[in-house]
């Protein structure tokens, strides 16, 4: 369900009025005003203002997206549960200047299950998913251990790709009726300055080229002149504007993410336990894909779907662009997980973990059919009608008490800790997997935080806010982790 508001304050008031379970899956998107034909790639910002940009309000509309539950089932006894009646379709509220709020009926995307699960008190599955060990990276590629940081970076951002970026940059400058002589080496130096600025901070961008003894950075001034850096930052492009597809919101940046993701997978997926979650790239400018997520280190920016190892190494990245026209009937969480795991060449080598935004009984069953082992926390309405103890009753029991059910394909377990938690898995039950090992719920808690760890590995602002206001630097920051990642695995 989506609601639109004229002010950001009204949208925030709605978020704080929601229950905790609905607020967790909500997202805020700024919609731009109606185009007047004056389209440009440039923004008028103060390059030397490094303070955090706090907008008084938006220039268009603010849309609040509320997550719709995928499964609407009710728990029952240890037998085939009777589904509830379908909830009425949501309504979309739109408000605008000089426009009355209107409501439109909207169909729900509730997936249909091929069979109704039968839940019982057992801890066994009808079939055992295959499990094989993952080969070690250094055993398969021993030469990586002796490479320098620059050589490792070249494995992810190759000289050939830098040359293609230089060609696209020069082409965009010609489209703006300016001639720029740029080579792949220039783009490499440009990336190097951005990398350097992520950990060496000065009061302003111009300070890197200052003549003052306490501000001058010879490493930067000897590599590139200030005007040359500004010129490359102005015209840098990763795609030909004449080849952009219509209605492709992130068409100027997604090719860069696709190239980097392909380079990250050049050694294969060499970790057994993988985590799928969302990550935020900070951005405070104006773009229809910019969203707000409360509780994130960077609340405003682009949301990136990521599949990472337990150390934060990314194997797949996809920019979230709101509605996907390829498959409107598939729930968002199911589509994201399906897209992420599609890059796994040997599913039997991996276990996948995710949170309750993605998990549903239907998704776990679908992954089991593909031979992919998966575990995730699950919302009460997505358990496939599993008759677990109610949240109200299990809260009254002592800490550490739990209740579990299994239908042969999925095992669900609910326990009372600091809060009541429900986890479902298609290959783990409530018991420890071996002597002196961890129960299912502890495995989930440890291995699901991989994407959050990737956010911690990522360097900070690149030339702070002055560069964060351009799509270019947002993409460059995603690739910067390549310098650190080979030493983390």
Q: Which residue has the tokens 């990245």?
A: 317
> What predicted TM-score, i.e. pTM, was given to this entire model?
0.68
Q: Is the pLDDT of residue 359 over 70?
A: yes
**d(Cα 299, Cα 280) in Å, to the nearest integer?**
8
- Domain borders along the chain are 2-105, 147-245+458-487
- CA-atom Rg of the chain in angstroms: 25
Count Cα atoms within 13 angstroms, Cβ side, for 421.
16
pLDDT band, residue 299 (cuts 50/70/90): confident
Average pLDDT, the chain: 75
Phi/psi of residue 237, nearest 5 degrees: -145, 150
**d(Cα 473, Cα 282) in Å, to the nearest integer?**
10
Q: Which residue has the tokens 């849309």?
A: 63
pLDDT in tens, 54-65: 555 566 666 777
pLDDT in tens, 364-413: 999 999 999 999 999 998 999 999 999 889 888 888 888 999 998 999 99
Phi/psi of residue 22, nearest 5 degrees: -80, -35
pLDDT in tens, 75-124: 444 444 444 444 444 444 344 443 433 444 444 444 444 568 889 888 88
Whole-Å CA distances, 43 to 47, 144, 205, 256, 470: 10, 41, 17, 21, 8
The predicted structure's pLDDT at residue 51: 54
Q: Is the pLDDT of residue 475 over 60?
A: no
């Amino acid at each position: 369900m989506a609601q639109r508001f004229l002010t950001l304050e009204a949208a925030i008031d709605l978020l704080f009025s929601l229950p905790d379970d609905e607020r967790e899956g909500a997202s805020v998107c700024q919609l731009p005003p109606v185009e007047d034909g004056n389209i440009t790639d440039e923004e008028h910002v103060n390059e030397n203002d490094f303070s955090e940009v706090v907008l008084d309000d938006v220039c268009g509309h603010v849309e609040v997206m509320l997550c719709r539950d995928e499964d609407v089932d009710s728990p029952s006894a240890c037998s085939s549960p009777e589904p509830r009646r379908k909830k009425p379709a949501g309504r979309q509220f739109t408000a605008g200047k000089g426009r009355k709020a209107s409501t439109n009926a909207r169909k729900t995307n509730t997936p249909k299950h091929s069979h109704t699960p039968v839940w019982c008190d057992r801890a066994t599955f009808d079939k055992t998913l295959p499990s094989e060990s993952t080969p070690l990276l250094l055993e398969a590629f021993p030469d990586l251990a002796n490479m320098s940081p620059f050589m490792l970076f070249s494995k992810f951002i190759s000289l050939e790709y830098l040359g293609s970026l230089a060609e696209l940059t020069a082409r965009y400058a010609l489209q703006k009726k300016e001639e720029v002589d740029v080579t792949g080496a220039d783009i490499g130096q440009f990336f190097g300055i951005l990398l350097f600025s992520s950990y060496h901070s000065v009061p302003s961008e111009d300070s890197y080229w200052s003549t003052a003894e306490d501000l001058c950075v010879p490493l930067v001034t000897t590599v590139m002149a200030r005007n040359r850096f500004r010129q490359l930052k102005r015209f840098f492009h990763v795609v030909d504007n004449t080849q952009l597809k219509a209605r492709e919101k992130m068409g100027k940046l997604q090719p860069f993410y696709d190239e980097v993701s392909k380079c990250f997978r050049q050694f294969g997926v060499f970790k057994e336990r993988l985590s799928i979650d969302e990550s935020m790239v900070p951005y405070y400018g104006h773009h229809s894909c910019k969203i707000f997520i409360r509780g994130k280190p960077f609340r405003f920016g682009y949301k990136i779907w990521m599949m990472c190892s337990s150390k934060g190494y990314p194997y797949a990245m996809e920019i979230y662009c709101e509605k996907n026209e390829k498959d409107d009937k598939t729930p968002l969480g199911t589509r994201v997980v399906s897209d992420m795991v599609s890059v796994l060449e040997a599913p039997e080598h991996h276990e996948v973990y995710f949170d309750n935004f993605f998990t549903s009984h239907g998704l776990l069953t679908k992954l089991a059919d593909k031979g992919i082992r998966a575990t995730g926390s699950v919302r009460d309405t997505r358990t496939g009608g599993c008759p677990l103890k109610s949240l109200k009753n299990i809260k009254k029991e002592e800490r550490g008490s739990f209740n579990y059910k299994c239908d042969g394909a999925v095992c669900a377990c609910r326990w009372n800790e600091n809060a009541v938690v429900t986890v479902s898995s298609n290959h783990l039950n409530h018991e420890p997997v071996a002597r002196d090992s961890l129960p299912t719920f502890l495995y989930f808690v440890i291995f699901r935080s991989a994407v959050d760890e990737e956010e911690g590995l990522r360097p900070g602002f690149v030339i702070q806010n002055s560069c964060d206001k351009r799509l270019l630097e947002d993409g460059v920051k995603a690739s910067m982790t390549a310098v650190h990642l080979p030493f983390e695995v």
